[in-house]
Structure 1
Amino acid sequence: MTGSRVQVVSISSLKGGVGKTSVTLGLASAALAAEIPTLVIDLDPHADATTGLSVNASGQQDVGQMLRYPRKADLASQVVPSGWIEQFSAARKGTQPAILDVAAGSAYSGIYDRPDLSRRDLRRLSAVLAGLERQERTISSKPRYELVLIDCPPSLNGLTRIAWTASSRVLLVAEPGLFSVAGTERTLRAIELFRHEFAPGLSAAGIVANRVRPASAEHTYRLNEMSTMFGSLLLSPTIAEQSNWQQIQGAARAIHHWPGDAAKTAAASFDELLKKVLDGGQHRRRG
């Protein structure tokens, strides 16, 4: 799947509580607003992305069940449309139907979140996506999805490694705090080691600084530190802390359809970040 025109991006952090799922949802919202056919794979056993994307599954297999028998999995028939599509329908100008599908997460996938997976186990999600790619080639020369976002657990156990094996790039999420910055540095080293051993095509898509408080001297200091440490990998704009994120996600609403100036600013930031992620992937393929 990583060799096709579809960009497969894992959203990762080895430290919990930095808003990784919020960034995944923000990018999904931006993709839907830009009319980019997108699939979100919720690989976190907590399945918060599934909830935030307003998914109502009716008998479909979740990600964990598909990972169990990956070569038999029919991903195309198991994905569920996000409830956000209805929110965007009135504002859409395109003639093609909006596509934001979700491979639902569940606690069942946790059976693979262990550190002792074999190479064959690491390829489970790759096999699921390969089946989707084969089906798309028989239907049309153009893939149905242009972007796949994988919401990973906040660890480097089995599920994150399964996601990285299936991905072309990893987008890291960090807060401008001491422990998060140190965790991001460790994650970059882990990506490099994993690339050499298991996934030679893998690279870092960049680092998103999330939950930034512009008035905080500590955050300003840490952002300068991150810029020095990570250089061009630190993406701009940063995402400002938004006090009502939990309210937005609890209501299963897209950031692009939440009222208020703060939400509009955040939506514009995610639009710009998505463009950089997509442009980075296209540049990498051309290179």
Structure 2
Amino acid sequence: MQVVSISSLKGGVGKTSVTTGLASAALAAGIPTLVVDLDPHADASTALGVRPDEQLDIGRMLKSPRRARLADNVVPSGWIEHANGSSRNGSSRSSVPVLDVAFGSAYTGIYDRPDLGRRDLRRLSAVLAGAGDYELVLIDCPPSLNGLTRMAWTASDKVTLVAEPGLFSVAGTERTMRAIQLFRQEFAPGLSPAGIVANRVRTGSSEHSFRLAEMESMFGELLLSPHIPEQANWQQIQGAAHPVHHWPGESAKTAAALFDSLLANLMHGGGANGDAASSVRVRSRSQR
């Protein structure tokens, strides 16, 4: 089982969109997957079409992690009805597709503090001790470096960062790389950066082209391929609580193929230590 945190210290870069895109690719590939919606806004839960009954949300599971029974409280994604148990190339890995959600709520906000101790940082790890039936766990983190993100990093094998090719987002990504390095040293020596996803890329933008080149120079092989272009109908897809792999149209088909490649890189690529990123400075636009 691989546990991967999807993180960004800057909001609005499409972190949840990347999480749900990867979840869609995992569902299409027949990979048993759990999405943990750790963001108090719970946007991933909405996009995944979650309809809970009496189950506990992830915040209430965190309150009593050793008594929480994860298997009893996850909710199947509403996307399951769109899947037929086969991968997009027709080969079946599982007779019944599995995409479950530990759904989010505002309750998790009580843990989004900067002063959590080591015991609190292990709460999610204790909850996920019951997640052995999944091959992949994706954790959608809030856009901050407070308690919830650090709790997620403690429970994770890898961290995937999401960034737009813009000055402030690139600068935030560099700061996050440094934060991961410090966090590894103090709390989670087994944690590694899985890489950086360049999201919402506008191919006709000279600014985005410049920033992508800058990111390649700064982060090297940590900048994952492929990049995810800006997609006009993404809000419509998420609002319909629909996986991108089952949305009609050529643009959705292209996006689905990109997330397939990104998932393959994430699942099979090795993490890096991120040391090189700690010495890089973000250049301002005036330095061109």
Q: Normalized against structure 1, the TM-score is what?
A: 0.91
Counterpart Cα distance in 1 of 2:112 and 2:182:
19
Q: CA deviation at 1:280?
A: 1.8
Q: Which amino acid aligns with 1:189?
A: R
Q: CA deviation at 1:96?
A: 2.0
Matches within 5 A, 1:201-212: 201-212=190-201
Counterpart Cα distance in 2 of 1:82 and 1:128:
19
Structure 1 residues 281 and 81: alpha-carbon distance in aligned structure 2, compared to 1, 3 A threshold: farther
Matches within 5 A, 1:1-287: 6-89=1-84, 93-94=91-92, 96-130=95-129, 132-133=130-131, 143-281=132-270
- Residues 58-97 of structure 1: per-residue CA shift (max 9 Å, x gap): 0100000000000101001100000111101275552521
> Where do 5+ consecutive residues of structure 2 fail to align?
274-288
Counterpart Cα distance in 2 of 1:82 and 1:176:
31
Q: CA deviation at 1:283?
A: 10
- Residues 215-237 of structure 1: per-residue CA shift (max 9 Å, x gap): 10100000000000000000111
- Asked if the contact 1:9/1:171 (under 8 Å) is kept, the reply is yes
Q: CA deviation at 1:261?
A: 1.1
- Asked if the contact 2:22/2:260 (under 8 Å) is kept, the reply is yes
Give the SS at the match of 1:89: coil
Counterpart Cα distance in 2 of 1:88 and 1:128:
28
Of residues 177-186 and 94-103 in structure 1, the stretch that sits farther from structure 2 once superposed is 94-103
Q: CA deviation at 1:266?
A: 0.7
Q: Which amino acid aligns with 1:52?
A: A
Q: Which amino acid aligns with 1:192?
A: Q
Give the SS at the match of 2:269: helix
Q: Which amino acid aligns with 1:82?
A: S
Give the SS at the match of 1:199: coil
Q: CA RMSD in A?
A: 1.5
Counterpart Cα distance in 2 of 1:177 and 1:251:
29
Structure 1 residues 55 and 281: alpha-carbon distance in aligned structure 2, compared to 1, 3 A threshold: farther
Q: Which amino acid aligns with 1:127?
A: A
- Structure 1 stretches (4+) deviating beyond 3 angstroms? 90-93, 281-284
Q: CA deviation at 1:245?
A: 1.1
- Asked if the contact 1:53/1:82 (under 8 Å) is kept, the reply is yes
Q: Which amino acid aligns with 1:69?
A: S
Q: Which amino acid aligns with 1:84?
A: W
Give the SS at the match of 1:11: strand
Q: Which amino acid aligns with 1:113?
A: D
Give the SS at the match of 1:212: coil
Counting matched residue pairs gives 269
Counterpart Cα distance in 1 of 2:72 and 2:210:
48
- Asked if the contact 1:7/1:281 (under 8 Å) is kept, the reply is no
- Residues 6-45 of structure 1: per-residue CA shift (max 9 Å, x gap): 1000000000000000000000000000000000000000
> Where do 5+ consecutive residues of structure 1 fail to align?
1-5, 134-142
Counterpart Cα distance in 2 of 1:187 and 1:231:
16
- Residues 231-257 of structure 1: per-residue CA shift (max 9 Å, x gap): 000011100001111111010000111
Q: Normalized against structure 2, the TM-score is what?
A: 0.91
- Asked if the contact 2:4/2:157 (under 8 Å) is kept, the reply is yes
Q: Which amino acid aligns with 2:211?
A: R
- Asked if the contact 2:30/2:85 (under 8 Å) is kept, the reply is no
Structure 1 residues 169 and 90: alpha-carbon distance in aligned structure 2, compared to 1, 3 A threshold: closer
Q: CA deviation at 1:157?
A: 0.4
Structure 1 residues 38 and 237: alpha-carbon distance in aligned structure 2, compared to 1, 3 A threshold: same
